Homo-oligomer: A and B are copies of this chain.
Amino acid sequence: SKSKKKETLLTLQGSICSAPPRPFCRDPAPPRSVAERGISCVLQDGEVFEKAGVNVSVVFGQLSEEAARQMRSRGKVLKATEDGKLPFCAMGVSSVIHPKNPHVPTMHFNYRYFEIEEADGTKQWWFGGGTDLTPTYLNEEDAVHFHKTLKEVCDKHDLKLYPKYKKWCDDYFYIKHRDERRGIGGIFFDDMDSPSKEEVFQFVQSCAKAVVPSYVPIVKKHCHDSYTPEEKLWQQLRRGRYVEFNLVYDRGTKFGLLTPGSRIESILMSLPLTARWEYMNTPPESSKEAEILEVLRNPKDWVH
């Protein structure tokens, strides 16, 4: 029913807009353990959405050796105490929405704050996050609307941000073994720690507020589109790629899987309800399936 759908959207909207908590880690980290608090809201097998989840989480703990290694490998200098301990605190909001209708794209966003206490007591902090779209089929109008909404938010803070974060998004969501991106991108950034915590937090809040206007109009536009069994099948194959990216490459998922005591159901909430893998599925040239693949292989600029 219409009112049910509206209710669903409003609930999601509410969760989405509740944004991250004020990013200061006041609680002391309990030694040698991970304390996690958070709220997960998941809608499953709904009328419009196959699976949609919004997760708010706050984690205090000690960085695992593997997690510290991964952070150092991207250039972080982390001075651990003699016994190798690195207390951290992470908090964020993340969401993945997998619609039923293959003409409604999947949307993901995640905004997070990270703080690490080094051996000498100094604290490193940074923000990261992004919003990105994964359509089963290409709809240029939707792609332009989505990117334009994100660009406007970026431009208000700094004109240099959108081009940089748009490219970062295309680079980050790269499924190397397929030579495909997960979707048509959006914005993505990490390790953002200047000019000041207040300013970066303002920017992150603006990004989070742009999620609903960037995505909900696309859902409303297509959620009643008719589709064929073949289109549903292609969607399922694309869901398989989504699973591949999340389990093989995604930094957040990897961090979660490596952190003892973290809440696995929240971490894997991002996986679709259903997915499919066929051997050697190659869409025919000039098909709608080949059209989206082309864009996933060679990312386009949707707004200038």
Write the residues of chain A forming the contact surface with B, with a CB cutoff of 8 angstroms. 40, 42, 44, 51, 53, 176-178, 236, 240, 243-244, 247-248, 256-257, 264-265, 267-269, 271-280
Contact = CB atoms under 8 A, between A and B. Distances in A.
Given A177-B257, A248-B247, A44 B265 contact: no
Contacts of A240: 271
Contacts of A274: 236, 274-276
Given A178-B264, A265-B279, 10 more contacts: A42-B280, A51-B277, A51-B279, A177-B268, A240-B271, A243-B247, A243-B275, A247-B248, A272-B277, A275-B277
Contacts of A278: 44, 273
B273 A269 contact: no
Nearest to A267: B177
Contacts of A51: 277, 279
20 contacts: A44-B279, A51-B277, A53-B279, A176-B257, A177-B256, A177-B267, A178-B264, A236-B274, A243-B247, A243-B275, A244-B247, A244-B268, A248-B248, A271-B277, A273-B277, A273-B278, A274-B274, A274-B276, A275-B275, A275-B277
A244 B240 CA distance: 12
A248 B253 CA distance: 10
A265 B277 CA distance: 10
| Shortest beta-carbon contacts, A-B, top 8 | A247-B247, A271-B277, A42-B279, A177-B257, A177-B264, A274-B276, A247-B248, A265-B280
A186 to B, nearest CB: 23
Contacts of A244: 247, 268
Contacts of A276: 273-275
A274 B248 CA distance: 18
A186 B118 CA distance: 45
Contacts of A176: 257
